[in-house]
């Protein structure tokens, strides 16, 4: 699933479209103060994507109110918080490393172009910090039966049923969108 998904331009296009729709919903809602939201996107230099889609992924949608100047950054399926790697890369690299020896994981990391220590931090986050996030504390009751936290994110990905791996990943990334914005 890993290599096919990372080289599927249709999958990445669909993630971009989802983010565009989420951004439009935020913009249409306006600012709570009653002001109008204007485009104030963040430039990004995403890692983990092919050159073919890099231009679509070089910006993180965001808005700024014309009255109170407060920023509104919509949730994203493309980015997982402030990480420089794409959300799909964080998930796939972590899933693929499960059960691997150190040497096997290092080889996979080289193939994916992710520094070994970075992939290690992702795995540590999934196993030690994810289950402590406010998002997961409020969401875990919706995932039944309970997932094996030592097998994250694979055990969470398994809970999302879809016809294709790209649809399954899309469902997981939509579920994780609250993690893409600040608390």
Please compute the mean of the pLDDT values over residues 143-163 and round it to a whole number. 92
**pTM of the model as a whole:** 0.90
pLDDT band at 3; cut points 50, 70, 90: low
The reported pLDDT for the residue numbered 177 is: 96
Question: Where do the structural domains in the chain lie, given as residue ranges?
Answer: 2-178
The reported pLDDT for the residue numbered 24 is: 97
If you average pLDDT over every residue of the chain, what do you get?
Answer: 90
Backbone torsions φ then ψ of 37, nearest 5 degrees: -90, 130
């Amino acid at each position: 699933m890993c290599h096919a998904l990372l080289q599927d331009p249709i999958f990445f296009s669909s993630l971009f479209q989802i983010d565009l729709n989420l951004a439009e919903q935020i913009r249409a809602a306006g600012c709570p103060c009653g002001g109008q939201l204007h485009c104030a996107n963040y430039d990004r230099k995403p890692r983990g994507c092919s050159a073919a889609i890099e231009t679509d992924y070089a910006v993180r949608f965001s808005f700024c109110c014309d009255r109170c100047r407060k920023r509104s950054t919509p949730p994203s399926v493309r980015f997982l918080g402030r990480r420089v790697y794409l959300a799909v890369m964080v998930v796939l690299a972590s899933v693929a490393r499960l059960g691997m020896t150190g040497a096997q994981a290092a080889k996979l990391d080289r193939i994916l172009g992710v520094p070994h220590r970075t992939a290690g931090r992702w795995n540590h986050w999934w196993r030690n910090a994810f289950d402590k996030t406010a998002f997961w504390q409020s969401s875990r009751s919706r995932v039944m039966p309970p997932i094996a936290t030592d097998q994250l994110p694979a055990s969470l990905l398994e809970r999302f049923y879809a016809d294709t791996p790209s649809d399954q990943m899309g469902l997981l990334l939509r579920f994780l969108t609250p993690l893409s914005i600040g608390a």
